Copies of this chain bind each other. A is one copy, B any other.
Amino acid sequence: MSDATDTGADLFKRVSVERVSQVIVDQIKLLVREGKLSTGDRLPSERDLCQRFGVSRVTVREALRVLEASGLIEIRVGARGGAFVSSPTRERLGEGLADLMSLSSLTPAHITEARTIIEVGILPFVVERATEADIASLRRMVEEGREALDRNAYTMNLSAAFHVGVSVCTHNPAIETLVQSFHGPMLLSLRQAQLVAPAMGRRGTDEHAALVDAIGARDTEAAIKVMTTHLDRTAGLVRDMPPAGA
């Protein structure tokens, strides 16, 4: 066996026929990453881009669709319309996570475990950095939750909002984004939300209140203990559930 199959295997690079539209996408993405295009900037019109890149409008449009789907640009129609560079929203990241979950082998149990790590891990920062305003805001959320409970209108959204509210106290947007992203997939599978909501109700709200108290008292250990209990209870409910798609 002395042919090129063995000996020259790595002499030949995999030929990849990249789509023309993909090349355009990469080029524009690079401009954004390098900061040569920043939020709010307007790209040339489609017909302009056609000429600059030397391709047809269809191709340019496909590139724009991809960039739009990635959240890098936003497209407005009409005069003075066009493609504007925009910062991708957190919702979009959450959407991505939701898609990932509905397709891959990520189970609710996996997600919950990751959530626990993050939400417990941030507590030292929360306790350290929460302002009085932050804490007041959390207390308001707890109160709202209790009222909703009395009206029998408690939803997972309220719970999610509270957890995001806690993450806001870190004053670190990266962490906020992370926590927020993780609540998308949870809410997405309605079955679970319906299942978990009643159980979370009164007791969950009480735990929220206890958490706020611990944060207010700058008691990290107590906060961690409350949060761990709180999330473990959720973990127990979703344990061994199949992936959301099923």
Contact = CB atoms under 8 A, between A and B. Distances in A.
A8 to B, nearest CB: 24
Nearest to A172: B110
Size range of the interface on A? 35 or more
Nearest to A106: B174
Please tell me how many copies of the chain the complex holds: 2
Interface in A54-89: 58, 61-62, 65-66, 68-72, 85-88
A220 B22 CA distance: 46
Interface stretch (A45-53, A97-105, A138-146, A149-157): A97-105
A62 B62 CA distance: 6
A169 interface: no
Given A99-B71, A114-B178, A246 B35 contact: yes
Nearest to A175: B114
Interface string A33-51: 1110011000000000000
A245 to B, nearest CB: 4
A160 B120 CA distance: 24
Interface in A201-246: 244-246
Interface of A: 21, 29, 32-35, 38-39, 58, 61-62, 65-66, 68-72, 85-88, 90, 92-93, 95-100, 102-106, 110-111, 113-114, 117-118, 120-122, 125, 172-175, 177-178, 188, 244-246
Given A69-B69, A93-B93, A105-B173, 19 more contacts: A32-B245, A33-B102, A33-B244, A35-B246, A38-B245, A39-B103, A62-B62, A65-B66, A66-B68, A71-B96, A87-B104, A88-B96, A88-B99, A93-B96, A100-B177, A114-B175, A117-B118, A117-B175, A118-B118
**7 cross-chain pairs, A with B, having the tightest CB-CB distances, nearest first:** A35-B245, A69-B69, A117-B121, A121-B121, A110-B174, A87-B103, A114-B174
